[in-house]
Amino acid sequence: MTQDPGPTALRSSPVLVRGRIGQLRDRASGRHSPLRRLDWPLQISVVALALIGALLVWSATRQRMEEAGSDPQTFLKRHLLNLAIGLVLGAAATVVDYRILRAYAPFVYLGSLVGLVAVLLVGTTVNGAHSWIVLPAGFQLQPSEFAKVALVVGVAMILGEKHEDRYTGIRRGEPGHGDVLLVLGLAVIPMGLIMLQPDFGTVMVLVFVTLGMLAVSGAPRRWVLGLVLCGVLFGGAILQFHLLKPYQEARLTSFVSENKATSSSGYNVDQAMTAIANGGVTGRGLFEGQQTQGQFVPEQQTDFVFSVAGEELGYLGAGGVIVLLGVVLWRALTIGFQSQDSFGALIATGVVCWFTFQIFVNIGMCLGVMPVTGLPLTFLSYGGSSMFANMVAVGLLQNVRLRSRSDPYAL
């Protein structure tokens, strides 16, 4: 449809009175239709990253699956399935007006807490962390991933309310001490539950999300600085008094220690770095990386998926992945910037903090400059829960985008 009737024309011109179906078609494809007004650069980048991820996961696993007598495409298919489900979940998160979502935020939050408690009761231990609930048909659920979404929504609700009245839109000022305390209370509960699994990496994501959202919301500066200081002291104390389990400490410190090969996490990083360096400028080609195909890098389809990109796609490919991730973060921040209310802006802030932290820690780990924390690389790493949570987060961004102030024709 090339004709652009415009809202006025739609209302006034009897000539253009159409049937119900025609109207729907116009809404779907017109300039101001929600489909058109989605943030397509964001969406395309996300889907492209997930597809690249599918190839990398496939490359890292097909040899092993074949040797095990399984379908070598198992992981490829599942990653694509995860993407499809994730897109549906994301669409759902987009369609519901986030201002309505705000009303349900407490339930989302409570639901995530139920998941976190459940995992402690009936969960399965993988790689030392009690983080998974095994579902029928070979699926697993990782409630801590959904806790990220819940926390973003929950914190945005509390801090956003202080800016505008939900119904009148009247500005009510910046968050006060009470709000900050409420946010901290809200954040500490899932953090504590996740710490019990224990999944230190996810706790750190939640810490950064909370801090980031507090800082952007305009919470009292002394709170923000004080919390950062507390974090530093706490981190120092943890290492000083060996409060972490030995393997956790080894993961954290192996990237600065000299004899990397002695610890297994040092070995992982060494192999990942070797694989990435082996890629050179143009890479070895998909399925051609000797390190990858020789299965030298452990956990390569999840935590170390970036090393597949490094070896097989080279600097151009791996750099391209970083650029695509940059586009996602850039668009997310733009969406936050253009949001018509603080709630939307804070959701975007939370998602950006979450993604940024995971991306930097994960890729930094593969490049040997960040500690090994077991965080997946958003959109690329294999993992259903992570994919679903990421896609829901993207859906929320699109939701904010569709209803942003810069769009006078928001639905």
Partner 1 sequence: MNDRMRIRLLILRVLVLSLLVTLGARLWVLQILDGERYRRVAETNRVREVVTPATRGMIVDDQGQPLVRNRTSLVISVNRSTIDRQSDKGRAVLDRLATVIGMPRAEIEQRIRFCSATVKAPCWNGSPYQPVPVAKDVSSAQALAVIEHPDRFPGVSADLQAVREYPNASLAAHELGYLAPVSQDQLDAQGGEKGYHLNSLIGVSGLEYTYDDALRGADGVERLEVDRFGRVAGTASTTDPVSGDHLVLNLDLDVQRAAEQALGKTLESLGGGARAASAVVLNVRTGGVVALASLPTYNPSVFVGGISQTDYSALSDPANGTPLLSRAYQGSAAAGSTFKVVSTAVAMQQMGAKGDDKFDCAPTLQVGDQIFHNFDGSSAGPITLHQSLVISCDVIFDKFAYDAWVADGGLRNGRGPYQEPKEYFVRMAEAMGFGSRTGIDLPGETSGAVVDRADAKKIWEELKDSYCRRAQNGYPEEPDPVKAERYRKYAAEACVDGYLYNAGAAVQFSIGQGQYLSVSPLQLATAYAAIANGGTLYQPTLAKATISPDGRRTKLIEPTVTGHLPVSPEILAYIRDGLHGVTTEAGGTAAGVFADWPSDLVPVGGKTGTAEVEGKGDTSWFASFAPANDPQFVVVVSIPESGTGAEYAAPVAKEIYKALYGVGQPAALPGGKPPADLPELGRDGSFGGGAGTTAGPAPSAQGAAGQGTVVQGAVVQGAVAPGVAGPEAAAPGAVLPALWPASGPAAHSGTEPAAATSAAGGAGRSPP
Task: Select 253 or 340, whichever has its Cβ closest to partner 1.
Answer: 340
Q: Please, what's the largest Cα pairwise distance for the chain?
A: 79
Q: Which residues, listed in sequence order, are joined to residue 133 by a DSSP beta bridge?
A: 141
Give the residue ranges of DSSP H helices in 196-220. 200-217
232 binds partner 1 (CB under 8 A): no
187 is written with which tokens?
Answer: 């954040």
Q: If binding means CB under 8 A, how many residues of this protein chain bind partner 1? A: 56
Interface residue with partner 1 among 359, 372, 380, 391 (CB under 8 A) is: 359
177-195 helix and 98-122 helix, angle to the nearest 10 degrees: 30
Q: Give residues 335-354 in contact with partner 1 (rule: CB under 8 A).
A: 336-337, 339-342, 344-345, 348-349, 352-353
Task: Select 4 or 67, whichever has its Cβ closest to partner 1.
Answer: 67
- DSSP summary character for residue 312: I
As measured in angstroms, the least distance from the Cβ of 276 to partner 1 is: 6
Q: How far is CA 45 from CA 50, 109, 195, 321, in A?
A: 9, 29, 33, 9
Task: Select 132 or 223, whichever has its Cβ closest to partner 1.
Answer: 223
367 binds partner 1 (CB under 8 A): yes
Task: Select 176 or 280, whichever has its Cβ closest to partner 1.
Answer: 280
364 binds partner 1 (CB under 8 A): yes
Task: Select 187 or 329, whichever has its Cβ closest to partner 1.
Answer: 329
166 is written with which tokens?
Answer: 């939900």
373 binds partner 1 (CB under 8 A): no
The count of residues in the chain is: 411
231 binds partner 1 (CB under 8 A): no
As measured in angstroms, the least distance from the Cβ of 120 to partner 1 is: 33
Q: Which long-range contacts (CB under 8 A, 24 or more apart) does 314-318 make?
A: 314/279, 314/280, 314/281, 314/282, 314/283, 314/284, 315/279, 315/280, 315/281, 315/282, 315/283, 316/281, 316/282, 316/283, 317/279, 317/283, 318/276, 318/279, 318/283
313 binds partner 1 (CB under 8 A): no
183 binds partner 1 (CB under 8 A): no
170 binds partner 1 (CB under 8 A): no
Q: Which residues, listed in sequence order, are joined to residue 124 by a DSSP beta bridge?
A: 132
d(CA 180, CA 162): 11
Residue type, 94: T
226 alpha-carbon distance from chain centroid: 27
377 binds partner 1 (CB under 8 A): no
Task: Select 206 or 363, whichever has its Cβ closest to partner 1.
Answer: 363
Q: Give residues 256-295 in contact with partner 1 (rule: CB under 8 A).
A: 271, 273-281, 290-291, 293-295
Q: Give residues 193-212 in contact with partner 1 (rule: CB under 8 A).
A: 212
Interface residue list for partner 1 (CB under 8 A)? 163-164, 171, 212, 215-218, 271, 273-281, 290-291, 293-296, 310, 314-315, 318-319, 322, 325-326, 329-330, 333, 336-337, 339-342, 344-345, 348-349, 352-353, 356, 359-360, 363-364, 367-369, 405
